[in-house]
A and B are shown apart, each in its own frame.
Chain A
Amino acid sequence: MNQDEFGFRIRQALNEGAERLDYRTMLRLEQARGAALARQRHAGPATVRVPALQLAGAGSPAVDEGTGAWHWLRGAGWIAPLLALAVGFVAISQWQHQLEIERLAALDFAVLLDDGPLDAYADQGFGVLLQAERQLDH
C-alpha cells in the first residue's frame, strides 16, 4: 500500500469519526457558524450614512443627499449667486451702453437742428468727437 492509498484509508476513517459527533458539539458548531455569519464582512445591507447629530427617524428626502431633485438643488445653490452676478454685470453694461447711445443721439439731433450752443463749435473736444463719429460711420 503506497502513501497516497494509506492516506485515503485514514481519511475514510477520520470522516467516519467526524460524522459521529454528538448533538451538543454539533449544536455548538452551528451556533458558532451562525454567530460568524452575523458578523461577516460586507454581508449586511448597505450602510446608510447619517450625520452624527441627525435623528435616525428624520430620514426625509430633504436630507437624502444622494437622490433626485434635492441633489440638483444643492448644486444649484452654489451656481445661482454666480449666475445672478453675471446677469447683473451684463444688465449694467447694457444699461450704460443704452445711456451712451441716447446721449450721442441727443447730441446728433441737436447738431442737425443747429440747436447746439455756439460755444460747442469752438470747443476742440467737440470737433474731435464729430471726427470720431464720422470715422465710425465709415
Chain B
Amino acid sequence: MATREELSEFLAGVQRRAFKQAVFAVRDESHALDIVQDAMMKIAENYGDRPAAELPLLFTRILQNSIHDFFRRSKVRSAWVTLFSALGSDDDPDADPLETLEARGDGRAESSEAAFEREQIVAAIEEEVAKLPARQREAFLLRYWEDFDTAETAAAMGCSEGSVKTHCSRATSALAKALKERGISL
C-alpha cells in the first residue's frame, strides 16, 4: 500500500507533465488544471491503498479518462476555447495557448540570446505536439515522455501494442516533418 509520503512524492513528480499533457489535449490552462486536480482526487480516493509501483499506470489511465470525459461533457468546448484564445491574443489569429503560457515566463526568462532561442524551440515543439492527433499524441507522450514501454502504453491506452507502435511511428514522422518545415533541427 502506498503511504501518504509515497503518494505525495509520486504526484509531485508527475504533476507538471500531467498538466502539460492536459494542456496539449484541451488547449486551455484552466481546464487542464481542473482535469489534473480531478485525476489526483480520483487516484487518492479510489486507489490510495494500492502499491506505489502501480500508481504511474493507474494515474495515466485516470488522467486520460479525465481528458476524454472533458471532451465528452463538452463537445464544442475545444472550438470555443480556440476562438477565445484567438480573441485573447494580441493580433495574431494563429496564436496558440502554449505561446501565451510561454510568454508569461518571459519576465523571468534568461536574457541570453541562446536561452531565448531555446525557449522558442521548446514552444514550437510543444505547439507541434499539441497539433498531433489525440491518439498519436497520447501514445507518443506515454512512450517517450512518461517512459512507458510498449506494453504499458498499450495497457494505458486500452489498445494493442501494434497500434501503439503505429501511433508512435506516425507521430514521430509528423513531428519531424513539421519541425523541419519550421527550420528546427534537433
Contact = CB atoms under 8 A, between A and B. Distances in A.
B125 interface: yes
20 contacts: A6-B175, A7-B168, A10-B125, A14-B122, A14-B125, A14-B141, A16-B122, A18-B19, A19-B16, A20-B105, A25-B19, A29-B16, A32-B15, A32-B41, A37-B44, A39-B44, A40-B7, A41-B45, A42-B48, A43-B7
A20 B19 CA distance: 12
Interface string B87-128: 000000000000001101100000000000011011101100
Contacts of A112: none
Interface of B: 1, 4, 7-8, 11-12, 15-17, 19-20, 29, 33, 36-37, 40-41, 43-49, 101-102, 104-105, 118-119, 121-123, 125-126, 129, 140-141, 143-145, 168-169, 172, 175-176, 186
Contacts of A35: 37, 40-41
A14 B186 CA distance: 13
Contacts of A43: 4, 7, 44, 48
A10 B129 contact: yes
Q: Which of the listed residues A6, A17, A37 has the most CB atoms from chain B within 10 Å of its own CB?
A: A17
Nearest to A16: B122
Contacts of A20: 102, 105, 119, 122
Contact of B126 (A17, A28, A37): A17
A33 B48 contact: no
A17 B20 contact: yes
Nearest to A43: B4
A21 interface: yes
A11 B37 contact: no
Given A7-B140, A10-B125, A10-B140, 7 more contacts: A6-B175, A7-B143, A7-B168, A14-B125, A32-B33, A35-B40, A42-B48
Contacts of B7: 36-37, 40, 43
B44 A3 contact: no
